[in-house]
């Protein structure tokens, strides 16, 4: 009986090795790449456990302003991947100079502020946007806020850091939006007048005086 048990165990080991040639155990992988687990946990906390890009969902246009500048150039837009792990661009890159102030686009609470893989990341859960709430992310940013802080629309939450993985050789802000684990287009937070053109204004008409206070 003992011999039979030992033979059966040996067969199981051999079959396991044949079924997954060249694989490495989780323990060995962690030992080969120290610090990877910590970086992964930071990404998960800032962006969600998987951060998959899902179908378009209704997003309230609650942003009061762009996160940098007045109307920055969109260097690279939203490119949702066809599959959960497929190629794409889960956010937008906005042109800005290193050191530029980065602002919260809407009121909310800071859910993450720290460094992930050497770059500064801030995440803000937006007030009144459902359950789970919408969450905006900003990187690479040197944070001036801490986790748990309440922020107002337009409040400076940090300054743009040089470099970053999204715009090699120059500075830009990578702005993301999630609901739970699903990535959404952050530009959908902007109301049409802010996204496409300036706010409406009254123009003078010959013979018709402007209303009081209009410029």
Rg (CA), the chain: 24
70 in a structural domain = yes
12 in a structural domain = no
Closest CA to 93 of 45, 139, 61: 139
Number of domains in the chain: 1
76 in a structural domain = yes
212 in a structural domain = no
Q: Are 101 and 68 in contact (CB under 8 A)?
A: yes
d(Cα 55, Cα 163) in Å, to the nearest integer?
Answer: 31
Range of the domain at 173: 60-195
pLDDT at 32: 36
Q: Are 129 and 139 in contact (CB under 8 A)?
A: no
pTM (predicted TM-score): 0.68
135 in a structural domain = yes
8 in a structural domain = no
CATH of the domain at 175: 2.70.70.10
Strands (E), 117-187: 119-126, 134-139, 141-143, 150-151, 156-160, 172-179, 182-184
191 in a structural domain = yes
Return averaged pLDDT per consecutive 10 residues of the chain, 215 residues in all. Answer: 41 36 35 38 45 65 96 88 69 94 98 94 97 96 98 98 74 94 94 74 51 52
Q: Are 141 and 122 in contact (CB under 8 A)?
A: yes
d(Cα 103, Cα 108) in Å, to the nearest integer?
Answer: 12
23 in a structural domain = no
């Amino acid at each position: 009986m003992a011999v039979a048990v030992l033979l059966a165990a040996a067969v199981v080991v051999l079959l396991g090795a044949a079924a997954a040639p060249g694989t490495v155990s989780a323990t060995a992988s962690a030992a080969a790449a120290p610090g990877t687990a910590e970086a992964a946990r930071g990404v998960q906390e800032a962006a969600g456990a998987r951060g998959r890009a899902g179908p378009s969902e209704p997003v309230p246009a609650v942003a009061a302003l762009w996160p940098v500048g007045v109307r920055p150039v969109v260097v690279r837009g939203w490119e949702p991947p066809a599959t959960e792990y497929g190629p794409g661009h889960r956010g937008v890159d906005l042109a800005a100079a290193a050191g530029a102030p980065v602002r919260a686009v809407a009121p909310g609470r800071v859910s993450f502020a720290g460094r992930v893989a050497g770059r500064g990341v801030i995440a803000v859960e937006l007030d009144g946007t459902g359950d789970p709430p919408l969450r905006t992310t900003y990187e690479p940013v040197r944070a001036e806020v801490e986790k748990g802080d309440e922020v107002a629309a337009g409040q400076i939450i940090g300054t743009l850091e040089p470099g970053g993985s999204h715009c090699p050789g120059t500075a830009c802000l990578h702005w993301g939006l999630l609901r739970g684990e699903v990535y959404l287009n952050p530009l959908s937070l902007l109301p049409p007048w802010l996204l496409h053109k300036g706010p409406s204004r009254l123009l003078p008409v010959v013979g018709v005086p402007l209303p009081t206070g209009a410029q």
